A and B are shown apart, each in its own frame.
Chain A
């Protein structure tokens, strides 16, 4: 089927399949899965600026429902989310402007492509490291709680940074933190969302837990709240810049809606760090896809 807005021919079932895969990942791990959807779209010949914008659009539809669920469960610190939004929006717009500049000089595929590869390698390594550590904890049962929690000293140092205005977020158990720390967390994840078309959850989640010191369940809910904002704003700004094929996003989302439900149900049967370790291979596969396409000129695979 020809998607006339992006000007590419892609089998819609392939897009449904991508959506389904990232939906399952989202339901299973609580990640958006944009890091995998992007490379798969790029491999099918979708230009990188459309990959970025369209990926964000499909993520908007997916995350809005999940965020609503977490809000009902009381897992969203709305106050923190709203403060962070300012940093997130500036980050998304900066990312979108970077894509525009690169598009103008004809380097968007190359620069964003290689950045994607770098980020995917980092995500894969982090997932593998985290799963291996969890496997070790189960096997030896010898690590102290402090070692399992890991980076507690980092959040203490961030809370010790006293540049005013200082804010309190009682719902997250934060007594006092600098506004600038919160904005910086929003800006970094927003920048990744705007430039790469990913939700940024894989970076925001660790930042919320390890840097700001949020409890994990509040971090997940607040992260989803931020994904909705960054993906929605990213969709709008990228669409206005002509980087979104909404039909492609709608088709992908049909698979994602089902995949998310299956992913959530399947955690009952396939939970555990060993499975997470297995899934840590996926970002590496994504990195290979992007590298193949970048190294082989067009390297488009027709599905």
Chain B
């Protein structure tokens, strides 16, 4: 908070936008890798479970979304910390 007082506000916003763009680029790259790898790998087994073992599919769906929730939160927090965006919170 003391650091923010000494720094002109327009500089803070400029750094914020700059870092945000970097984060967006990094995140987009990771997203593309995610689409090509994870979705292709998961599509067939999940469709098989959906067609043949719906109960198992239900539990798999829940586990996958919870796991991704925890993983992605760690990733985005890591990126925000590395780029200093968290200082503005």
A residues apposed to B, CB below 8 Å: 1, 4-5, 12, 16, 57-58, 60-62, 64-65, 232, 235-237, 239-242, 244, 246-247, 249-251, 253-254, 257-258, 260-262, 264-265, 268-269
CA distance A219 to B58 in the complex (A): 30
Known contacts A5-B50, A254-B31: A240-B55 contact under CB 8 Å: yes
Query: Which residues from chain B contact A240 at a C-beta distance below 8 Å?
Result: 54-55, 57-58
Query: Which residues from chain A contact B85 at a C-beta distance below 8 Å?
Result: 261, 265
- How close is A49's CB to chain B, nearest CB, in angstroms? 14
Residue among B27, B61, B88 with max Cβ neighbours from chain A (10 Å): B61
- How close is B45's CB to chain A, nearest CB, in angstroms? 11
- Provide 16 A-B residue pairs closer than 8 Å at the C-beta atoms, listed in order of the A residue: A5-B50, A64-B66, A65-B73, A246-B46, A246-B65, A247-B39, A249-B65, A251-B39, A253-B68, A254-B34, A257-B73, A257-B75, A257-B76, A258-B27, A265-B16, A265-B85
Known contacts A239-B62, A261-B80, A265-B89: A253-B72 contact under CB 8 Å: yes
- How close is A303's CB to chain B, nearest CB, in angstroms? 16
Known contacts A242-B54, A262-B20: A250-B76 contact under CB 8 Å: no
Partner of A239, one of B23, B34, B61, B68: B61
CA distance A1 to B40 in the complex (A): 11
Cβ < 8 Å to A, chain B residues 28-54: 31, 34-35, 38-39, 42-43, 46-47, 50, 54
Whether B70 and A5, one on each chain, are in contact in the complex, defined by CB atoms closer than 8 angstroms, is no
Q: Quick check: is B13 within 8 A (CB to CB) of the other chain?
A: yes
Residue among A1, A58, A60, A237 with max Cβ neighbours from chain B (10 Å): A60
Whether B77 and A235, one on each chain, are in contact in the complex, defined by CB atoms closer than 8 angstroms, is no
Query: Which residues from chain B contact A60 at a C-beta distance below 8 Å?
Result: 62, 65-66, 69
- How close is B6's CB to chain A, nearest CB, in angstroms? 17
CA distance A147 to B72 in the complex (A): 42
Whether A249 and B35, one on each chain, are in contact in the complex, defined by CB atoms closer than 8 angstroms, is no
CA distance A235 to B65 in the complex (A): 10
Q: Quick check: is B22 within 8 A (CB to CB) of the other chain?
A: no
Partner of B62, one of A232, A262, A268: A232
